[in-house]
Amino acid sequence: MEPKKIVITGGPSTGKTSIVEKIELMGLPCIHEISRSVTLEAREQGIEQLFVTDPLLFSKKITEGRINQFHEASKMKAEHVFMDRGLPDVVAYLDCFDQSYDHSYIEACEKYIYDTVFLLPPWKEIYATDGERYENYDEALRIHDCLEASYEKYGYNTIHVPKGSVEERLSFILNKVKI
């Protein structure tokens, strides 16, 4: 039996990575966000922000990577696999920044279905930018709304994770998936 694929998503700097890292420390299988590696790879080729320079190429690379991650998760010998973002995130970002895209992005979202999606809210007190995260807080608010709309569009009932410590949020998520 395939493991349940659990997505943890949210706009930039909402605490996703901290939660995924804690889950991993518990010994549960996790698949990490790939956008940072795509961004760093582009920087090695002299492109500072691939999403800004060529949003469709960036999104294509992210989509291919997330499809590979979906297949990787399907092969894991576990009851649950936690994933830092899912395919509807790609469409959400494209929609959020008014980018046109072909039907292949929609087909990927319709073909690769996750079992549960947790959405973390924007949180000004913990918001920070870094070398790969360039969005300001107002853009983060807009991204959150686009993420929520994208997952809803593909039939997900996202579970909203309340603000709190990493441990409180982790407990909330684990209780919802009954771990």
* Structure confidence by residue, pLDDT tens digits, 4-28: 999 999 988 888 989 999 999 999 9
pLDDT at 129 over 60: yes
- Among 26-40, 60-74, 143-157, the range scoring the smallest mean pLDDT is 26-40
* Own/partner long-range contacts of 88-91 (Cβ < 8 Å, ≥24 apart): 88/147, 88/150, 88/151, 88/153, 88/154, 88/156, 89/9, 89/62, 89/147, 89/150, 90/59, 90/62, 90/63, 90/66, 91/150, 91/153
Asked if CATH classification 1.20.120.1200 holds for the domain at 4-171, the reply, yes or no, is no
| pLDDT value at residue 131 | 54
pLDDT category of residue 36 using cuts at 50, 70 and 90: confident
- Strand order in 80-84's β-sheet? 30-31, 80-84, 4-10, 116-120, 159-160
Whole-angstrom distance, CA of residue 99 vs CA of residue 97: 6
Q: What residue segments make up the domains of the chain, in order of their start?
A: 4-171
Rounded to the nearest integer, the mean pLDDT of the chain is 90
pLDDT in tens, 82-121: 999 999 999 999 999 999 999 999 999 999 999 999 999 9
Whole-angstrom distance, CA of residue 167 vs CA of residue 151: 25
The model's pTM is 0.91
pLDDT category of residue 73 using cuts at 50, 70 and 90: very high
